[in-house]
Structure 1
Amino acid sequence: MVKLYWAPHSRSVTSIWLLEEIGAPYERVLVDLRAGEQDKPEYRAINSMGKVPALVEGDAVVCEQGAICTWLGDRFPEAGLAPAIGDPLRATWLRWLFFAGNCIEPAYMQKFSGWETVKSRAAWGDPDTVYAALEKGLEHGPWICGERFTTADIMIGGGVFYGLAFGMLDKRPVFTEYAERCGARPAFIRSREIEAEALAAM
Structure 2
Amino acid sequence: MFKLYYYPNNASLAPHFLLHHLNANYELLLVDKKSNSQKSTEYLRLNPAGRIPTLVIGEQPIFESPAICMHLCELYPESGLMPKIGDPKRPLFYQWLAFLNNTLQAELMVRYYPHRHTNDEATIPNVVAAQDERIADALSIINDQLEHNKYLLGENLTACDYFLFMLAEWSLPIKKSPLEFKYLARYLKGLCDNPTIQAVCAIEEMDITPFKN
Deviation of 1:142 after TM superposition, in Å, equals 1.0
Q: Which runs of 5+ in 1 are unaligned?
A: 119-124, 198-202
* Aligned-partner SS, 2:5: strand
2:172 to 146, 160, 164: 164
For 1:181, the aligned partner's letter is G
How do residues 1-202 of structure 1 correspond to structure 2 at under 5 angstroms? 1-109=1-109, 114-115=126-127, 126-127=134-135, 129-170=137-178, 171-196=180-205
Q: Which runs of 5+ in 2 are unaligned?
A: 115-125, 207-213
**Counterpart contact for 2:7–2:31, Cα < 8 Å:** yes
* Aligned-partner SS, 1:140: coil
State the Cα RMSD in Å: 2.4
TM-score computed with the length of structure 1 as normaliser: 0.83
Name the % identity: 29
CA-to-aligned-CA distance 1:151-192 (integer Å, 9 cap, x gap): 011112211222124445351121211111222211111111
TM-score computed with the length of structure 2 as normaliser: 0.79
CA-to-aligned-CA distance 1:63-93 (integer Å, 9 cap, x gap): 1111111111111112211111221110111
CA distance in 2, matches of 1:80, 1:5: 25
For 2:85, the aligned partner's letter is I
For 1:173, the aligned partner's letter is K
Deviation of 1:111 after TM superposition, in Å, equals 6.0
* Aligned-partner SS, 1:141: coil
CA distance in 2, matches of 1:89, 1:62: 26
CA distance in 2, matches of 1:111, 1:32: 22
CA distance in 1, matches of 2:110, 2:39: 27
Change (3 A) 1:35 1:110: closer
* Aligned-partner SS, 1:62: strand
Deviation of 1:99 after TM superposition, in Å, equals 0.6
Deviation of 1:115 after TM superposition, in Å, equals 3.1
Alignment size in residue pairs: 190
CA distance in 1, matches of 2:173, 2:157: 22
Change (3 A) 1:32 1:106: closer
**Counterpart contact for 2:136–2:177, Cα < 8 Å:** no
CA distance in 2, matches of 1:79, 1:16: 15
Greater relative contact order structure (CA < 8 Å, 6+ sep) = 1
Deviation of 1:21 after TM superposition, in Å, equals 1.0
For 1:175, the aligned partner's letter is L
For 1:56, the aligned partner's letter is V
